[in-house]
């Protein structure tokens, strides 16, 4: 019997009400992410990539259908349980780093661990290890404003995996960077995913980066299809 996918969307629909109409983004969409798999989500702007990621990451509830994480149905869970899953089992990376400006790189990566309840010393040790792995360890004491765009994004990636999540969801993680820096940051992200055995769904407009992943999917008429 095949192993249960780490992430599965089953018959997911999501629509937004506008003044005079309903805008359908997802319509009975199905998607599976296997353990250790790295999938590229490529689609035009406005096609619904962010909605798919937000639904998969339990930031939004589907109007219909269900989201399963590690075999567990999530759509009917209360907000407290959904928040705990997002904190412990799902890592998020966005186009903009969203680092806390008043804290150092090290403190930013420590933060999700402290919220989870890890002792400060243990959180600091893991944060430094992740920053070293992402090749920004020497910048650990610097605040975000003192870092380059590529460094900021590598710190953001380290923060996203600080709690050793099951799934990493990334929304245009290199979209705000120049081509050279984009490639460098993606190499670091890819190495981290492969080495840790993470499962990752990464939305990108960069087809060169998309071709380096295990497979590519897109959104068409509200459904997720392979390309």
Looking at residue 138, what DSSP letter applies?
Answer: G
What pLDDT does 162 receive? 93
pLDDT at 17 over 80: yes
Q: How far is CA 20 from CA 23, 26, 221, in A?
A: 10, 19, 20
The answer to whether 66 and 93 have CB atoms below 8 angstroms apart is: no
Tracing tokens 């969307």 back to the chain, one arrives at: 9
Structure tokens that stand for 170 in this block: 């990334």
Over the stretch 205-224, which tens digit does the pLDDT of each residue have?
888 889 989 999 999 999 99
Domains and CATH numbers, the chain: 37-62+78-226 (3.40.50.300)
What pLDDT does 3 receive? 63
What does residue 150 show for φ and ψ, rounded to 5 degrees?
Answer: -65, -40
Over the stretch 105-145, which tens digit does the pLDDT of each residue have?
999 999 999 999 999 999 999 999 999 988 899 999 999 99
> What is the Cα–Cα distance from 138 to 37, expressed in whole angstroms?
31
Mean pLDDT computed over 152-180: 89
Q: How far is CA 16 from the centre of its chain?
A: 23
Strands (E), the chain: 7-17, 22-33, 38-41, 64-69, 72-73, 90-93, 167-171, 199-203, 215-220, 223-226
The answer to whether 23 and 50 have CB atoms below 8 angstroms apart is: no
Q: How far is CA 179 from the centre of its chain?
A: 21
| Bridge partners for 67 per DSSP | 9
């Amino acid at each position: 019997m095949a192993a249960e996918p780490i992430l599965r969307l089953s018959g997911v629909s999501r629509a937004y009400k506008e003044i005079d109409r309903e805008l359908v983004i997802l319509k009975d969409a199905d998607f599976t992410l296997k353990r250790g798999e790295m999938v590229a989500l490529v689609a035009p702007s406005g096609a619904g990539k962010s909605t798919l990621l937000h639904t998969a990451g339990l930031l939004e509830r589907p109007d219909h259908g269900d989201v399963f994480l590690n075999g567990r149905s999530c759509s009917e869970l209360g907000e407290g349980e959904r928040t705990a899953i997002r904190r412990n089992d799902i890592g998020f990376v966005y186009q903009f780093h969203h680092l806390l400006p008043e804290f150092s790189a090290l403190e930013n990566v420590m933060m999700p661990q402290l919220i989870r309840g890890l002792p400060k010393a243990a959180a600091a040790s893991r944060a430094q290890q992740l920053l070293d792995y992402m090749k920004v360890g020497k910048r650990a004491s610097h605040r975000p404003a003192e870092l380059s765009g590529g460094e900021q994004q590598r710190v953001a990636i380290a923060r996203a995996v600080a709690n050793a999540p099951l799934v990493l969801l990334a929304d245009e993680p290199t979209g705000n960077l120049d081509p050279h820096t984009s490639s460098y940051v993606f190499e670091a992200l890819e190495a981290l995913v492969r080495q840790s055995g993470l499962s990752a769904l990464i939305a990108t407009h960069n087809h060169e980066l998309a071709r380096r992943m295990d497979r590519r999917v897109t959104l068409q008429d509200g459904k997720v299809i392979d390309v």
